[in-house]
Amino acid sequence: MGASDPERRERRARRARSGTIGRRFPRTGTEPTTAQSPLALRLLLSGVFVPVFVAAAVVLAVWAARSGPGDSPGRGPLIAVAVLCGALALSAAVDLLVVGRRLRRERGER
């Protein structure tokens, strides 16, 4: 008749997560109700690759600036790869912000 306190909390947590309020896409019924994104892994990967991509973009940009007209690879491909590394660094930095915000929200901090 009387559910224990942890059971009541678990039912309340499940009910709070199962609604469609605040969901971008409605549930289809095939995904698990407790599925979670691997936020710790995303945080680790983004934290590692932001400095890697920034360093690669800087090195490639300096290499492109110092390359001459007859050098191989030419200036154009080096600039293209430097821009790509910069875009990947920006993407990883944005992911760091998103993951940090989601972790704070899960912990109940504001």
- Between CA 62 and CA 55 the distance in angstroms is 11
Q: Is the pTM of this model over 0.75?
A: no
- Between CA 9 and CA 16 the distance in angstroms is 10
Q: What percent of the chain has pLDDT over 70?
A: 66
pLDDT in tens, 39-50: 889 999 999 999
